Amino acid sequence: MSIGRRIGTLAMGMLAGLVATLLMVLLMVVGRIWLGISPPPEAIPDRFAPTIDIDTFFSLFNRFGGYNGLKKFGIRSGLTGLFAVGILVGLAYAAIVESRHSRTVGAWRLGLSRIGLLFVVITALVLWIASLIVLWPVLDANYRGLPPSTARLVSALGLLVAYVAYGVMLIVTYRFVTRRSDPGPRSSSDGVPVGKPVGRRVVLAGAAGTLLAAPSYGLLRRLYNRATFAYDGTAYGGPGVQPIAPNDKFYVVTKNVVDPNVTKAFWRLEIGGLVEDAKTYGFDDLTTLPSVDQETTLMCISNHIGAGLFSNATWKGVPLRDLIAASRPKVDAVEVVLHAADGYTDTFAFEKAMEPTTLVVYEMNGEPLPERHGYPVRVIVPGLFGEKNVKWVTGIEVVDHDAKGFYEQQGWGPNFVIPTRSDLFAPRRARRDGKDAFSEPMRANQTTTLRGRAFAGNRGVVKVEVSLDDGESWQPARIDYPGTELTWVFWSYDWRPTQPGDYVVTSRATDGTGTVQPSDARGIVPQGATGYHRVMARVEG
């Protein structure tokens, strides 16, 4: 075969591979939107993110401009990889079909090579089996809310359909753009029948690719418009904070590019693992069980001292222990593993699961859970950092070993108990030279009311003190909002400085066990930040 014809053959293979990939991407996007199936460009980052150690994780943040930048890079890389594989397979198919071996071994029917067909079948099966093996830990993701056991089957079937459709379209497109009859209309100088590219058909194939690309682009834009970039990392702070955070102001942290859009009718909650009687609950089943209302504060492990990645709300739901008890857990239970609609998993001790304050909730501040906060159902685990309070929960599995959740696999923890902390949120603050400072100077002999929050997980806060000299002496603050042992408290202190100058204002809390907030400064990695919140104040005469 001449060099020119070889190039033409490979070009047709690339075109066929591209058109087939466009169909595969369209099916994957349709499956993501309407069936909740996580496609490989989304599933692969979720699969491997937990295997990245913390230092590397944060170095990637810096490299790509934060978590949102890293998410965008992951999706772009996944889509690029998908197209690269699809086009390479198209090239390989063209080379195999036009090879001398393909022409001399096996019969041709309808202009199709048996060897080429076998190659496509084997390739589709290999891709499918490899996907199942590699993505198995996250195949239980279903963004519409199917329970883990069903979600895995749907995900596996969705991948198979996409790969088979790719193979069929590859064969059809390549056959269409090469003029061929049985056993082949033309021969090259070496006597091997070959396909001859036809210009009009190439244009038609390109048009078909465009027709496939247009809806794919539109659906991808639809997903992009629902992306978490606009609200991931939302903090709740500043002088206007309230004891009960409004739902739309409550802090948000999510690993997802696009959060689950769960359909309540599809959603199910499976209780399984080491239990005598595994059960599955629909939403109506859950809401008819005896419920409790409980005010609880949540905080992210990545919340720096003085930052706002924590908020307080009143939740309504069912004690988790009631659901587990109904399934009769076995005596060797050690932990529970929580599975979410987005493939996220986390764990905590079985004893913690059986505490009456650990809830499976479906209302937030008297309203159905907002989508970004776990609609229709999430878990509330007082005293543990936010990642343990799993959103969009679909499965609760009792196990007999120390399992590792998404972030624990990265190296966070092993202690996820929230340490006692306090901060100042009023008057308004700003960052100056890397330090917190009150935005406006204060006046000597005039009273300024300092306000702040204190939080001690599920131990409660019994006292808050204020220091105006960087911890040399302490004065008692007023508790304006005492909350409960599961919530933060709001405090205030009236300060009337008598001398101009620069001051360092800080606070410390004492929890319900009598333990004073630790003064030692510690960063968020790997067990959450500790230390005093120091704010610079300038007093003018």
Q: Which of 355, 380, 410 is the last residue of a domain?
A: 410
- With a CB cutoff of 8 Å and minimum separation 6, the contacts of 207 are none
Is 113 part of any domain? yes
pLDDT value for 186:
43
Same structural domain, 397 and 442: no
pLDDT values of the chain reduced to their tens digit, one per residue, 541 residues:
567 677 888 899 999 999 999 999 999 999 999 999 999 999 999 999 999 999 999 999 899 999 999 999 999 999 999 999 999 999 999 999 888 666 666 556 666 788 889 999 999 999 999 999 999 999 999 999 999 999 999 999 999 999 999 999 999 999 999 865 444 444 444 434 444 545 788 899 999 999 999 999 999 999 999 999 999 999 999 999 999 999 999 999 999 999 999 999 999 999 999 999 999 999 999 999 999 999 999 999 999 999 999 999 999 999 999 999 999 999 999 999 999 999 999 999 999 999 999 999 999 999 999 999 999 999 999 999 999 999 999 999 999 999 999 999 999 999 999 999 999 999 999 998 889 999 999 999 999 999 999 999 999 999 999 999 999 999 999 999 999 999 999 999 999 999 999 999 999 999 999 999 999 999 999 999 999 999 999 999 8
- With a CB cutoff of 8 Å and minimum separation 6, the contacts of 457 are 382, 383, 384, 417, 418, 419, 420, 511
Compute and round to an integer the Cα radius of gyration of the chain.
30
Same structural domain, 51 and 185: yes
pLDDT value for 114:
85
Query: Do the beta carbons of residue 512 and residue 464 sit within 8 Å?
Result: no
Is 239 part of any domain? no
Instruction: Give the span between the Cα atoms of 376 and 385, in whole angstroms.
Output: 21
SS (H, E, C) 191-235: CCEECEECHHHHHHHHHHHHHHHHHHHHHHHHHHHCEHHHCCCCC
How many structural domains are present in the chain?
3
3-state helix, strand, coil in the chain (%, to 5): 40, 25, 35
Is 246 part of any domain? no
Q: Which of 195, 210, 225 is the last residue of a domain?
A: 225
Element (H, E) at 272: strand 269-273
pLDDT value for 289:
98
Is 53 part of any domain? yes
- Residue 182, helix vs strand vs coil: coil
pLDDT value for 106:
56
What's the token pair of residue 228? 């978490």
State how beta strands 478-481 and 475-476 pair. unpaired
What's the token pair of residue 215? 């809806």
Is 388 part of any domain? yes
pLDDT value for 183:
44
Is 451 part of any domain? yes
Same structural domain, 439 and 508: yes
Helix-helix angle 114-135:148-177, to 10 degrees: 150
Same structural domain, 336 and 472: no
299 CA to centre of own chain: 17
pLDDT value for 99:
80
Q: Which of 379, 410, 441 is the last residue of a domain?
A: 410
What's the one-letter identity of residue 9? Answer: T
Same structural domain, 437 and 312: no
What's the one-letter identity of residue 331? Answer: V
Instruction: Give the span between the Cα atoms of 409 and 406, in whole angstroms.
Output: 6
Same structural domain, 48 and 192: yes
Is 241 part of any domain? no
Residue 363: give its domain's CATH number.
3.90.420.10
Instruction: Give the span between the Cα atoms of 378 and 339, in whole angstroms.
Output: 10
Same structural domain, 392 and 442: no
Instruction: Give the span between the Cα atoms of 307 and 531, in whole angstroms.
Output: 13
Query: Do the beta carbons of residue 536 and residue 502 sit within 8 Å?
Result: yes
What's the token pair of residue 23? 């169909």
Instruction: Give the span between the Cα atoms of 443 and 168, in whole angstroms.
Output: 78
Same structural domain, 41 and 165: yes
For 340, the domain range is: 269-410
Is 39 part of any domain? yes
- Residue located via tokens 């100056």: 432
pLDDT value for 189:
42
- Residue located via tokens 């996580």: 38
